A and B are shown apart, each in its own frame.
Chain A
């Protein structure tokens, strides 16, 4: 079983079993593949270099849209314009955090610097956002319902398996963030 993250002399440390690391790695890979920007034949290479993407559209996949939300509530036009300027680099930021976390998964013991922990918390959060969309978690009640699923012997179908995976990543992120808050306190 994984051990909760702790803040101590070595920084922030955690422990994950090989099966848990494999599972996290595949979740991370899934989210990375969702975030890879589409390559357009007409893409201006210079525009791409400076992060512009004039062909970008609002995502149709709900999970991708949750990862890359509109910047204005009731102005799709302005949101799309903003997306053209910023979405590509936001995708790259997220992929960077996910890749960094995946690289730390080569050993049972995970030892993180403050920056590494920040990237891990971002990566775990994006993994959870995607799982939550797949589980159709729309409100606190849905979240509670999913949270009740704690026993791996009950995993009979894809949905209950996903719920268990979601609860595991939630627990892992919560323990990581608690350790990060302790390290903020220690610095203050």
Chain B
């Protein structure tokens, strides 16, 4: 369970108890999942970048790069993690009004380091 997801300060709180995946996981905890943000013509580019910076703790340049990927390619994988983690992120994104979905990562367990969020080429139109 060492997917290195760049979790922001907000998201650390929920997992601080240290009981990683010891609770009710319905799926195997080490299958990586992606959090996908979809483009829409309403959300402001500045707002999307603000959400990525403030919620995930991403740098301005990383937040802007992901935001531009959403804008130009129609979608971007902005975080990886266990199913529970990305679902929690998705609810937070819906709270902000961003259009977010979760999907199983195509690489399979250990397939991707999970480090480079946003390098989603090749798994673009999956599912």
| Residue from A86, A121, A132, A184 in contact with B91 in the complex, judged by beta carbons closer than 8 Å | A86
**Inter-chain CB contacts under 8 Å: number:** 78
| Residue from B42, B44, B47, B60 in contact with A137 in the complex, judged by beta carbons closer than 8 Å | B42
Judged by a CB distance under 8 angstroms, whether B100 is at the interface is: yes
| Residue from B96, B99, B102, B127 in contact with A122 in the complex, judged by beta carbons closer than 8 Å | B96
> Can you name 10 A-B pairs with beta carbons within 8 Å?
A71-B87, A73-B101, A74-B127, A121-B47, A122-B95, A126-B97, A128-B42, A170-B44, A177-B46, A181-B50
In the bound complex, residues from chain A placing their C-beta under 8 Å from that of B95 are 90, 93-94, 97, 122
In the bound complex, residues from chain B placing their C-beta under 8 Å from that of A86 are 87, 91
Judged by a CB distance under 8 angstroms, whether A157 is at the interface is: no
Judged by a CB distance under 8 angstroms, whether A152 is at the interface is: no
Q: A73-B101, A74-B127 are in contact. Are A184 and B87 (CB under 8 A)?
A: no
**Nearest chain A CB to B51's CB is how many angstroms away?**
9
- 16 extra interchain contacts, Cβ-Cβ under 8 A, other than A71-B94, A140-B41, A184-B50? A68-B94, A69-B99, A72-B101, A73-B36, A86-B87, A90-B95, A129-B42, A142-B41, A173-B44, A174-B46, A177-B44, A177-B46, A177-B50, A180-B50, A184-B54, A185-B60
Q: How far is the CA of A125 from the CA of B42 in the complex (A)?
A: 9
Name A's interface SS: helix
Q: Interface on B for A, CB 8 Å cutoff?
A: 36, 41-44, 46-47, 49-50, 53-54, 60, 87, 90-91, 94-97, 99-103, 127
Contact A71 B44 (CB under 8 A): no
In the bound complex, residues from chain B placing their C-beta under 8 Å from that of A185 are 60
Among A73, A74, A89, which residue has the most Cβ atoms of chain B within 10 A? A73
Among A66, A143, A181, which residue has the most Cβ atoms of chain B within 10 A? A181
Q: Interface on A for B, CB 8 Å cutoff?
A: 66-74, 82, 86, 89-90, 93-94, 97, 118, 121-122, 125-126, 128-129, 132, 137-140, 142-143, 170, 173-174, 177-178, 180-181, 184-185
